[in-house]
Amino acid sequence: MTLPSADQPSVVAAAATASEPSLAAAAGSATEGGSRGRGALAPVGLVLAGGISVQFGGALAVSLMPRAGALGVVTLRLVVAAIVLLAVCRPKLRGHSRADWGTVVVFGIAMAAMNGLFYQSVARIPLGPAVTLEVLGPLALSVLASRRAINLVWAGLALAGVFLLGGGGFTSLDPAGVAFALGAGAMWAAYIVFSARTGRRFPQADGLALAMVVAAVLFLPLGIAESGSDLLVPTTVALGACVAILSSVLPYTLELLALRRLPASTFAILMSLEPAVAATAGFLALDQALSLFEALAIALVIAASMGAVRTQVGRGKAKGLEPS
């Protein structure tokens, strides 16, 4: 799949429409217009479900770090996720071009880097600010990938909420943690692009499974070097498996499926919901209370995401009115 550009703001959705069955039709709508509306909402629901899963998985990972370290947690997450996806997907290794394999390798590198940098960040700064900084990567992608002025409005509104959630600035945070979070955001943007490309080149979640193997192999030496035999403690392995399911298997699969029908720019704006979900996960799982200022920031981020959803649904309805 080609990278969404100024000339191709909706290439992900257009390619998916040509190769995948209509989710709206599967929903069994009473009317054609209702079917198309639900079809536009379906990938949005996949993205939101993936975001909830990954943030609660992140909260669990923070509590696991004293046992296995940041690199050890990432290793457990990637290795377990790779094993689960290989067992479920059983991807075929033959019949793929050199370009296909190159896409999978880069996708795997992006996943490994994104996870490694993010967990180094949350080892130094709280979960909410870390996710808030990380989401700047997808927001930047949304501006670069879209020509529609309305998407710039939603991106700007979400960006304002992101900085409000950070208290108007991040000067009190550990500089290394901030740098790791920003690096994770850049890798998150790369993940969005190569997840879309992989979803086009490989059937179902086969490409995701293969890319996860690449990420796990790359990270295994780092995890062993930091944590050693601690990675083999049964309780640690069990918790790491839970992190893998919540933070990798479920969200990556849902997002890959969503990117087959959702423009990369709209997907990236929806990622602005992550700080709000992270704050909720921190409150429920890590006993981190929200201030009124943080609640206002979350409201701005949610408003931006709702605007992105309405834009996507509106495009689906407009297409439904076009003559066939």
Question: What would the pLDDT profile of 139-197 be if each residue is shown by its tens digit?
Answer: 777 667 666 777 778 778 877 877 776 665 566 678 888 899 999 999 988 988 898 88
Highest mean pLDDT among 73-77, 130-134, 227-231, 283-287: 73-77
Q: What is d(CA 253, CA 241) in angstroms, rounded to the nearest whole number?
A: 16
Cβ(135)–Cβ(272) under 8 Å? yes
Q: Give 32's pLDDT tier (boundaries 50, 70, 90).
A: very low
**pLDDT value of position 107:** 94
Instruction: Note if the pTM is more than 0.75.
Output: no
Any idea what the Cα angle at residue 138 is, between residues 134 and 143, rounded to 5°?
Answer: 135
The whole-number average pLDDT for the span 233-243 is 89
Ranges of beta strands (E only) in the chain are: none
Better-scored residue on pLDDT, 45 or 268: 45
Q: What is d(CA 259, CA 207) in angstroms, rounded to the nearest whole number?
A: 13
Question: Which positions ≥6 away from 185 have C-beta within 8 Å?
Answer: 133, 134, 135, 136, 137, 138, 140
Q: What is d(CA 61, CA 68) in angstroms, rounded to the nearest whole number?
A: 10
Find the helix or strand (DSSP H, E) in which 239 lies: helix 234-244
Better-scored residue on pLDDT, 36 or 290: 290
Q: Give 293's pLDDT tier (boundaries 50, 70, 90).
A: low
Start-to-end CA distance of the chain, whole Å, equals 25
Both tokens assigned to 114: 């994104």
Least confident of 118-127, 248-257, 283-292: 283-292
Measuring CA to CA, which residue among 323, 322, 316 is closest to residue 10?
A: 316
Q: Give the length of the chain.
A: 324
**Residue type for 287, please?**
D
Q: Is the pLDDT of residue 214 over 90?
A: yes
Number of alpha helices (DSSP H) and beta strands (DSSP E) in the chain: 14, 0
What is the residue-wise DSSP string for 182-251?
Answer: HHHHHHHHHHHHHHHHHHHHSSTTHHHHHHHHHHHHHHHHHHHHHHGGGGG-HHHHHHHHHHHIIIIIHH
Q: What is d(CA 313, CA 25) in angstroms, rounded to the nearest whole number?
A: 15
Both tokens assigned to 125: 């700064």
